[in-house]
C-alpha cells in the first residue's frame, strides 16, 4: 500500500485490512530538496509511518529520488524551456507511483499494489479500464489514465467507491492522525515561498518576450520570462489594467513573441494528441475528452493521423469549438458514457 501520509492512503490501507489482505505500507521518498506543498516532505513521511503504527502494519521507505529527478523534475524543467506546459504529477504516477513501485513489488514478492487514488477499475469483456471514482468532485481517473493492462491487473484502488466525506468520516472513526489533514494541491517540489519562478529560474535562463496584439501585431508590453507564459493566461503578462480582457492566444517561442487577444481567439475545432497510450486498443469515433485534472469533458470524434507531421498521433475533432489546450498538457479519452478511460496522450 503506497502510504503518502495523507488521509486517502491511510483509509485505503485500513480498507485493505478490513477486506482481509496482508498489507505493508510503502512510502516513496521522491524529492530530496525543499518541499512544503505536496506529498514529499519529511512531515508526510512521518505521518505515513505513524499511520502504519496505528494500523499495526509494517512500513518501508523506498528512496526513488534519482528516478524522480530523471523522469519528473528534469522533464518538467526541459518542457518549460521548450515552451510547453507539463503535468508533473501525471508523469510521477506514470514512472514512479506505478511502474517503479510495481518493479520493486515484483522483486519483493508482493501480489498487488494499492494507492489512495479516487478512481476505480472496471472490466468489460475481459479487459480492465480505469474508471471514475464515486466522488465526482475528487475523481482522479485523469491522473492515472496511463495504466496498461499489466498494471491494471495487479492494482487496487480501495477508496474508489467512497466519497471524500466518507473517507474522512472513516478516518475520524478510527482515530487516524491524518483524518483532518488537508489535501495536497500543488506540485511537491515547488515551494510556497519561491513558487515556479524561483524553481525554474535557478535551473534555466529566462528570456524576455514582446507582447503583441494577435490581430494587428501592435506591441503592447513585455514579459520577463517567456518560459513562464502559458496558453490561455490572462494575468502576469505585463499589460496595464482597466482595458478589455486579453488572454494569451499564441506563443511564438522561437521569436520570443506572446500574442494576446479576446478569449474567442482561443477557440478551435480540433486538437492533435501525441504519445497516446491505450487501455486496450486504439479507439476511434465518438468519445468524451478531458484536458485538465478537474475539468469538464467535451464530446468529440477521434481518428488516427495517417500522414504528415502528426503521423501516429490522434486528431480530436470537437463537436463544438473548444478552448485550445496548452501544448504539453495531458488529454484523456473517456467512453461516451463518461465512465471509464479509453486512453490518453499529450497535447501537441
If DSSP codes are grouped into helix, strand and coil, which group holds residue 148? Answer: coil
Quote the CA–CA distance of 249 and 9 in Å, as a whole number. Answer: 39
72 Cβ neighbours under 8 A, 6+ residues apart: 30, 88, 91, 92, 95, 96
- What is the sign, positive or negative, of the torsion defined by CA atoms of 14, 15, 19, 22? negative
Burial profile 44-73: b = 16 or more Cβ within 10 angstroms, e = fewer: bbebbbbbbebbebebeebebbebbbebbb
Quote the CA–CA distance of 201 and 145 in Å, as a whole number. Answer: 31
Q: Which three cell numbers stand for residue 8?
A: 486517502
Active-site residue 92, yes or no? yes
Task: Name the catalytic one among 39, 40, 89, 188.
Answer: 188
Which residue(s) pair with 127 in the sheet? 124
CA atoms within 13 A on the CB side of 313: 18
Quote the CA–CA distance of 15 and 8 in Å, as a whole number. Answer: 10
Task: Name the catalytic one among 39, 89, 92, 268.
Answer: 92
Q: Which three cell numbers stand for residue 29?
A: 521518498
Quote the CA–CA distance of 156 and 158 in Å, as a whole number. Answer: 6
Active-site residue 268, yes or no? no
If DSSP codes are grouped into helix, strand and coil, which group holds residue 220? Answer: strand
**Cα first-last separation, the chain:** 35
| DSSP 8-state assignment for residue 209 | E
Q: Which three cell numbers stand for residue 314?
A: 490522434
Which residues are catalytically annotated? 92, 188
Amino acid at each position: 500500500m503506497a502510504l503518502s501520509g495523507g488521509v486517502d492512503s491511510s483509509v485505503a490501507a485500513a480498507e485493505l485490512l478490513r477486506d482481509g489482505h496482508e498489507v505493508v505500507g510503502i512510502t516513496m521518498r521522491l524529492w530530496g530538496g525543499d518541499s512544503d506543498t505536496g506529498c514529499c516532505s519529511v512531515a508526510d513521511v512521518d505521518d505515513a509511518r505513524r499511520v502504519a503504527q496505528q494500523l499495526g502494519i509494517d512500513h518501508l521507505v523506498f528512496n526513488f529520488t534519482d528516478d524522480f529527478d530523471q523522469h519528473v523534475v528534469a522533464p518538467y524543467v526541459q518542457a518549460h524551456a521548450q515552451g510547453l506546459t507539463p503535468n508533473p504529477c501525471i508523469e510521477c504516477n506514470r514512472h514512479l507511483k506505478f511502474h517503479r513501485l510495481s518493479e520493486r513489488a515484483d522483486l519483493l514478492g508482493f501480489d498487488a499494489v494499492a494507492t489512495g487514488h479516487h478512481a476505480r477499475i472496471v472490466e468489460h469483456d475481459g479487459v480492465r479500464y480505469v474508471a471514475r471514482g464515486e466522488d465526482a468532485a475528487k475523481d482522479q481517473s485523469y491522473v492515472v489514465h496511463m495504466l496498461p493492462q499489466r498494471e491494471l491487473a495487479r492494482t487496487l484502488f480501495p477508496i474508489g467507491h467512497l466519497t471524500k466525506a466518507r473517507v474522512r468520516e472513516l478516518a475520524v472513526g478510527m482515530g487516524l492522525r491524518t483524518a483532518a489533514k488537508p489535501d495536497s494541491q500543488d506540485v511537491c517540489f515547488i515551494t510556497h515561498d519561491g513558487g515556479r519562478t524561483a524553481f525554474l529560474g535557478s535551473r534555466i535562463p529566462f528570456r524576455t518576450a514582446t507582447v503583441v496584439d494577435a490581430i494587428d501585431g501592435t506591441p503592447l508590453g513585455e514579459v520577463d520570462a517567456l518560459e513562464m507564459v502559458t496558453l490561455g493566461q490572462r494575468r502576469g503578462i505585463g499589460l496595464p489594467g482597466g482595458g478589455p480582457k486579453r488572454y494569451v492566444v499564441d506563443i511564438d517561442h522561437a521569436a520570443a513573441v506572446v500574442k494576446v487577444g479576446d478569449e474567442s481567439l482561443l477557440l478551435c475545432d480540433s486538437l492533435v494528441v501525441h504519445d497516446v497510450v491505450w487501455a486496450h486498443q486504439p479507439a476511434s469515433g465518438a468519445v468524451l475528452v478531458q484536458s485538465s485534472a478537474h475539468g469538464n469533458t467535451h464530446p468529440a470524434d477521434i481518428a488516427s493521423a495517417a500522414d504528415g507531421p502528426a503521423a501516429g498521433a490522434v486528431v480530436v475533432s470537437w463537436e463544438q469549438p473548444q478552448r485550445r489546450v496548452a501544448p504539453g498538457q495531458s488529454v484523456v479519452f473517456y467512453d461516451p458514457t463518461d465512465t471509464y478511460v479509453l486512453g490518453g496522450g499529450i497535447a501537441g
